Amino acid sequence: MTIRAKLGYTAAGMTVFFAVLVPFLLMGVFTKGFAALGLHVDEMYSGGPIARTIQAGVYSIDIHRPVSPHMLQLEKAFVQLDWKPVSALPPHISDVVDVDGDGQPDIRVSFDVPKDAKTPLRVNVEVLNPRYEAMRNVGKEKFSRLIVRVDDAILVRVPLAKP
Amino acid sequence: MSVLLTLPIAIWSFLMFAHFWQPNRSAQIAIIMTAVFMIALFFMMMRTRSTYRWRRWFFVAMGLLFPVGFIHTVIAMRGTMGIPIEEMIAGRTPFCFLPIPLLILPAALTKTVVFPGSILPGRGMAGAGMAAMAGMWLAITIVVGKGWCSYLCFFGGIEEGMAAVVPRAKLKKIDTRWRYGPWAVLLATSLLSLALFDSVYCMWLCPFKAVSEYVAARNTLGLVQNGIFIVLFAGLVIALPLLTKKRTQCAFFCPFGAFQSIFNKTSVFDVKIDRTRCSPCVLCKTACPTMSLTDESIAQGETLLSCMKCGACVDVCPKDAAVWHIKGTEVASKPERARLLLLYAAWGMAIMFGGGIIAQGLATILHVFI
């Protein structure tokens, strides 16, 4: 038997050994390896990190960092605002929000909070700062222009106007 | 001898299925049925020395039962097969292995995963997360290489089943250039995924969206997307396998299959043609479900890069010229030993991954009656 053949059989035996290790060791090791790469889900989906939180009585509004589209991504830049907890929200929301934190109101967001979680949501956004785009009776049009209920929060994404 | 050779697989099955064990009675019956099924198939592979036809029973069962279990879970958890935008934003889109190659470029260049799932274990359908699926894929790929497409892919069984339904192919002449299809789709979808920052294959081209979950049709664009999924599924997974007796989606379209071909180098097992025995009758070429044998490759004693080690050519060869082989060894020197080692590794992975899928699908059906 040649050395190449011996190496081949050794590798084949090792393959069977690795197969035994897959569920008990290798899968876990590689999973941890992938998790440690520091990857993150595209902010077009996740909405980006929270920049600051405004307390509005019994509920709060999380303001996320603005999200910009990559390369040829078919979405506009937007900023996400989360109203939560839903259980503390009044039946109708009409909040003036200082999105960029400069002390000046930027948008007025209005929507109804239905008791039934499955009722479709609609939002109106009145612009007080030309940096943002107005929205009228918008539901779930696009990732950059929507109102949705996710768990115990109502998320509104307001598109940014082109500079 | 067959019983003895099956014994390690029986022990492995016990270990794996004990892990799947649940208090639910229908699940318990399903697990026992699946364990017996997998052990019996391996025993028959040992007894008859035939690989393809017994592997096919498992593979088709996995392909047919995956949608049963998956759709049931999706409906139970979110009430619809359509992925609502809320679930995407919440990172609860289940992640399968097919988009892995398309995510590499955006991840490498921007550290961003262009898929609306969770990297770590998430809630709902996010399951164990994308890192777990990627980790499992890499671990199994080291073991079986391109064999993934014959022992692990829970989609390929549907078209393999369709191809098995008809006795003879009605469409026999297929332009061999179609073999480059998966590479073209891989290249195009990888570049488009980077440019559009979107999982283009999942959003526009995956035929299996028709039997798993689809984009919730919020607008005309969504309807067009779902229309494409249905047309591709009907054409590549149902109609063409019936006409050609080939796994047409795998052979002509699947970008993951092309990607997996690159990783085949990690596996020491392959299939060779012993030229001293080959006539050549080209029965192997006709039998190959992915057109991985050509006149030229047979003359060279090789299979093409797309060979997924299903064993169809080995089983059909009347002169035992198509043989299992371990790299580095002489062709046709102890091919049964090569086959046995490959099958221990591949069947072990099949039980671990596909066994759970079959058991879940069976449990879903049994739950209706029990």
Task: Give the pLDDT score at A163.
Answer: 64
To the nearest whole percent, how much of chain B has pLDDT over 90? 84
Which pair of structure tokens corresponds to residue B141?
């790929």
Contact check, Cβ <8 Å, B195/A7: no
Q: In this model, does residue B298 exceed pLDDT 90?
A: yes
Q: Per-residue pLDDT tens for B162-188?
A: 999 999 999 988 998 999 999 999 999
Whether residues B7 and B135 fall in one domain: yes
A64 Cα to chain B: minimum distance (Å): 14
Residues contacting B201, CB < 8 A, separation 6+: B98, B99, B102, B185, B189, B193, B255
On the 0-12 / 13-18 / 19+ scale of CB atoms within 10 A, B277 is: middle
Residues contacting B188, CB < 8 A, separation 6+: none
Which pair of structure tokens corresponds to residue B262?
């690159």
- Using the Cβ of A17 and the Cβ atoms of chain B, whether some distance falls under 8 Å is answered with no
Sequence length of chain B is: 370
CB-CB neighbors (< 8 A) of A34 in chain B? 119, 130-131, 134-135, 138
Let me know the angle formed at the C-alpha of B80 by B76 and B82, rounded to the nearest 5 degrees. 135
Which residue shows structure tokens 């999706």? B74
Cα A56–chain centre separation: 22
Task: Give the pLDDT score at B124.
Answer: 77
Number of domains making up chain B: 2
Angle between helices B156-165 and B52-78 (to 10 degrees): 130
- Please give the backbone phi and psi of residue B131, each rounded to the nearest 5 degrees, phi first: -60, -35
Q: Per-residue pLDDT tens for B88-104?
A: 999 999 999 999 999 99
- Using the Cβ of A117 and the Cβ atoms of chain B, whether some distance falls under 8 Å is answered with no
Whether residues B326 and B342 fall in one domain: no
Q: In this model, does residue B217 exceed pLDDT 80?
A: no
- The model's confidence at residue B219, banded by pLDDT at 50, 70 and 90, is confident
List the single residue in A4, A29, A34 with the smallest CB-CB distance to B134: A34
Whether residues B259 and B273 fall in one domain: no
- Please give the backbone phi and psi of residue A16, each rounded to the nearest 5 degrees, phi first: -65, -40
A107 Cα to chain B: minimum distance (Å): 23
- Mean pLDDT across the stretch B126-155? 93
H, E, C per residue of B103-146: HHHHHHHHCEECCCCCCCCCCHHHCCCHHHHHHHHHHHHHHHHH
Q: In this model, does residue B340 exceed pLDDT 80?
A: yes
Whether residues B365 and B231 fall in one domain: yes
List the single residue in A27, A40, A155 with the smallest CB-CB distance to B135: A27
Angle between helices B130-144 and A3-21 (to 10 degrees): 150
Specify the range with the lowest mean pLDDT, choosing from A73-82, B187-196, B212-221: B212-221
On the 0-12 / 13-18 / 19+ scale of CB atoms within 10 A, B293 is: buried
* Top-confidence residue, B124 or B238: B238
Whether residues B134 and B231 fall in one domain: yes
Whether residues B67 and B136 fall in one domain: yes
**Contact indicator for A121, A149 with CB cutoff of 8 Å:** yes
- What span, in angstroms and rounded, lies between the C-alpha atoms of B51 and B27? 29
Q: Which residues of B238-266 are buried (b: 16+ CB within 10 A; e: fewer)?
A: bebbbbbbbbbbbbbbbbbbbbbbebbee
- What span, in angstroms and rounded, lies between the C-alpha atoms of B195 and B192? 5
Task: Using the Cα atoms of residue B34, residue B150, residue B99 and residue B239 in order, give the sign of their dihedral.
Answer: negative
Residues contacting B47, CB < 8 A, separation 6+: B2
Domain that holds residue B140: 2-264+336-369
- Mean pLDDT across the stretch B209-236? 88
Whether residues B237 and B298 fall in one domain: no
ipTM: 0.92
Q: E strand or H helix at A80, and its extent?
A: strand A78-84
Whether residues B256 and B278 fall in one domain: no
Whether residues B278 and B168 fall in one domain: no
Residue of B359, B159, B350 lying closest to B241 (CA atoms): B159
pLDDT, averaged across chain B: 93
- What span, in angstroms and rounded, lies between the C-alpha atoms of A29 and B266? 18
Whether residues B171 and B301 fall in one domain: no
B251 Cα to chain A: minimum distance (Å): 26
Angle between helices B2-20 and B25-48 (to 10 degrees): 160
**Cβ neighbour number for residue A95 with a 10 Å cutoff:** 17
- What span, in angstroms and rounded, lies between the C-alpha atoms of A158 and A161? 9
Task: Give the pLDDT score at B78.
Answer: 86
Cα B206–chain centre separation: 14
Q: Per-residue pLDDT tens for B253-290?
A: 999 999 999 988 888 999 999 999 998 899 999 999 99
Task: Give the pLDDT score at B265.
Answer: 81
Task: Give the pLDDT score at B122.
Answer: 82
CATH number of the domain where residue B289 is located: 3.30.70.20
Tens-level pLDDT at each residue, chain A (163 residues): 899 999 999 999 999 999 999 999 999 999 999 999 999 999 999 999 999 999 988 999 999 999 999 888 889 999 999 999 999 999 999 999 999 999 999 999 999 999 898 899 999 999 999 999 999 999 998 999 999 999 999 999 999 997 6
Which pair of structure tokens corresponds to residue B208?
């299996």
Q: Which residue of A has its CA nearest to B346?
A: A19
- What span, in angstroms and rounded, lies between the C-alpha atoms of A3 and B366? 53
Whether residues B214 and B329 fall in one domain: no
Which pair of structure tokens corresponds to residue B294?
């050509």
- What span, in angstroms and rounded, lies between the C-alpha atoms of A64 and B318? 67
Taking only residues 31 to 50 of chain A, the set having a beta carbon closer than 8 angstroms to any beta carbon of chain B reads: 31-35, 37-47
Whether residues B103 and B78 fall in one domain: yes
How many A×B Cβ pairs under 8 Å?
Answer: 163
